[in-house]
Amino acid sequence: MNNSDKLFIEADMHCHSLASSHAYSTVNEMAAAAKEAGLKAFALTDHAPAMPDSPHIWHFNNLPVIPQQIDGVTVLRGVEANIMNFDGEIDMKGSDLDDIQWVVASCHLPVMKVGSREENTAAYINAMKNNPSIDVIGHCTTMRYPVDFEKIAKACREYGVFAELNESSVQFKRSPEENCIELLNACKKYETNILVDTDCHYAGIIGRTDYAQKIIEAVDFPEKLIFNKNAEKVLEYVSKKHNINL
């Protein structure tokens, strides 16, 4: 964590519990860690069913049993959906999204084959275009799926989807710094809102975005475009989209 007592973000919108079997914390452990870190909200976004380690679809159908607030921290009931193909299909559809309040859409190697730069870009853009449930495009800076960041940033702005700067992807070397810089510069150009998320798989790192923050500061990225620096803005957005009172 930075020397400052204040977290860079107030809402961490991409977090995994042990329901995704390569993650290691319970929901209560995550909420406790979020409170200790100073977060006001986080989204529980376990992997959707097409991933080999995902929970059963019943996990997502039963999310309303989780309190909307735990120890004063708002818990958004979410999913990390898988982009399945270059047409942008995702593995969460119809009634399976009824109780979902937040959707991250990502490309993962066990599910989505790697295409050309043009094909990967089309997959993300088609996903945004064809699935209004999607809130954010997850870790699009990864080296595995090269994309045209200008087109991604422009499409995110057009379809009202957030682009994500993913702390785990940067920290664990899945996203080269130059990709992150290119995404941020494109988002700056098109005034596209981003989210800075941890994609945490362990409660102890929820909300901690040191690596991403250094890149943001290096490119002088506008604070006004970092949507989850303010939890109230995030909760207002979710409340309006799902007609709920958070």
DSSP-assigned states of every residue in the chain: --SSSS-S-SEEEEE--TTSTT----HHHHHHHHHHHT-SEEEE-PBPTTSTTPPPHHHHHTGGGS-SEETTEEEEEEEEEEB-STT--BS--GGGGTT--EEEEE--TTTS----HHHHHHHHHHHHHH-TT--EE--TT-TTS---HHHHHHHHHHHT-EEEEEHHHHHTTSS-HHHHHHHHHHHHHHT--EEEE--BSSGGGTT--HHHHHHHHHTT--GGGBGGGSHHHHHHHHHHHHT---
Residue 19 lies in a domain: yes
Residue 1 lies in a domain: no
Residue 3 lies in a domain: no
Kindly report the CATH number assigned to the domain that includes residue 44: 3.20.20.140
Residue 23 lies in a domain: yes
Q: Give tens-digit pLDDT for 130-188.
A: 999 999 999 999 999 999 999 999 999 999 999 999 999 999 999 999 999 999 999 99
Residue 82 lies in a domain: yes
Higher pLDDT pick, 7 / 36: 36
Question: Into how many domains does the chain fold?
Answer: 1
Residue 156 lies in a domain: yes
Q: Give tens-digit pLDDT for 185-220.
A: 999 999 999 999 999 999 999 999 999 999 999 999
Residue 159 lies in a domain: yes
The pTM assigned to this predicted structure is: 0.96
Residue 5 lies in a domain: no
Whole domain around residue 116: which residue ranges?
11-242
